[in-house]
Amino acid sequence: MKNAGRREPNVIPGFGITLGFTTFFLCAIVLLPLSALVLKAAGMDFARFMDVITSPRAIASYKLSFGASMVAAGVNMVFGFAIAWSLVRYDFPGRKFVDAIIDMPFALPTAVSGIALTTVFAGNGWIGQYLEPLGIQVAYNWIGITVALTLIGMPFVVRTVQPALAEVQRDLEDAAETLGAGRFYVFRRIIVPTVLPALLTGFTLAFARAVGEYGSVIFIAGNMPMKTEITPLLIVIRLEEFDYAGAAALGCVMLAISFVMLLAINLLQVWGRKRMMVSR
């Protein structure tokens, strides 16, 4: 840290070779293939490109992918906050165990969570059998898609909110309570503002992951065109039809969404850091 900004001869060897290797490998594995996608789509006739990405089936898939991801990230914001709150503020039997299994969706292959969720939420499944009589059909439905996307997004929200919640200054809360503030007032005026940037970052991370998700969704989705067909699945279908240009066009839409999400996440993090500085 203390050397930052000061230009002095660096005695550590290997700058040229490590930078060269990193850049080369990055270009070969990531940048060259991604540019192939963009150039493939750019090589298309513009009218045809627009036709593909605005076809009714594509639009229906965007609506589903965005809608379900939005709902899933929203659900995670509520429950993820509750989980993070329980883990940071309360002690209960099995807290450490719960803390450890939060990361399960990161480690569990998506195909496994896909077939497992389908089994549990199908009409005859452990949970599905109680929901079916209530008229709630989860599997092979947009609700099922949302459940799968909620599972894979959950750790993102919990893991970003947890450290932020630990940062909330308890003396501030105590001071407010001593001055006669109610619990809800303290929650609304002290806790929520401190945690908000983390909560929104978690929401965006969960949303970004959910929009592109494929493995855990296709088993539970039912995959009906126009109804339960997510955008990544539509890309796979186009590929199976050997419509490479069509797949590339839709892939470009997904890639553009990824870039927007990355930008949003970076901006949120900058905002969060600034707020943190001000509050100190």
- For other proteins, the closer of residues 182 and 193 by Cβ is 182
Round to whole Å and give the CA distance between 183 and 173.
9
What are the two backbone dihedrals, phi and then psi, of residue 55, each rounded to the nearest 5 degrees? -65, 150
**Choice from 45, 47, 109, 124 touching other proteins (CB under 8 A):** 109
First to last CA, the chain: 21
Q: Check binding of 246 to other proteins (CB under 8 A).
A: no
Local structure of residue 141 (DSSP, 8 states): S
- For other proteins, the closer of residues 266 and 279 by Cβ is 266
**Choice from 146, 150, 160, 194 touching other proteins (CB under 8 A):** 150
Q: Check binding of 103 to other proteins (CB under 8 A).
A: yes
| Angle between helix 56-89 and helix 142-167 axes, rounded to 10 deg | 40
Which residues from 39-98 bind other proteins, rule CB under 8 A? 40, 79, 82-83, 85-86, 88-92, 96, 98
Residue 128 CB neighbour total at 10 angstroms: 19
- For other proteins, the closer of residues 37 and 172 by Cβ is 37
CB of 93: closest distance to other proteins in angstroms?
Answer: 9
Number of residues that bind other proteins (CB under 8 A): 91
- Give me the amino acid identity at 265: I
CA nearest 68: which of 136, 158, 150? 150
CB of 18: closest distance to other proteins in angstroms?
Answer: 4
Q: Check binding of 268 to other proteins (CB under 8 A).
A: no
CA nearest 127: which of 115, 140, 117, 113? 117
Local structure of residue 119 (DSSP, 8 states): H
Which residues from 122-141 bind other proteins, rule CB under 8 A? 125-127
Could you tell me the two tokens for 172? 């501030």
**Choice from 42, 50, 59, 115 touching other proteins (CB under 8 A):** 115
**Choice from 53, 60, 119, 167 touching other proteins (CB under 8 A):** 119
**Helices assigned H by DSSP within 54-141:** 56-89, 95-101, 104-107, 110-121, 128-131
Which residues from 184-213 bind other proteins, rule CB under 8 A? 208, 211-213
Residue for token pair 């990193």: 22
Local structure of residue 228 (DSSP, 8 states): S
Which residues from 20-39 bind other proteins, rule CB under 8 A? 21-23, 25-26, 29-34, 36-37
**Choice from 73, 161, 198, 248 touching other proteins (CB under 8 A):** 248
CB of 126: closest distance to other proteins in angstroms?
Answer: 6
Q: Which residue stretch of 56-64, 189-197, 235-243, 268-276 sits at the interface with other proteins (rule: CB under 8 A)?
A: 235-243
Q: Which residue stretch of 47-55, 192-200, 254-262, 269-277 sits at the interface with other proteins (rule: CB under 8 A)?
A: 254-262
What are the two backbone dihedrals, phi and then psi, of residue 125, each rounded to the nearest 5 degrees? -80, 170
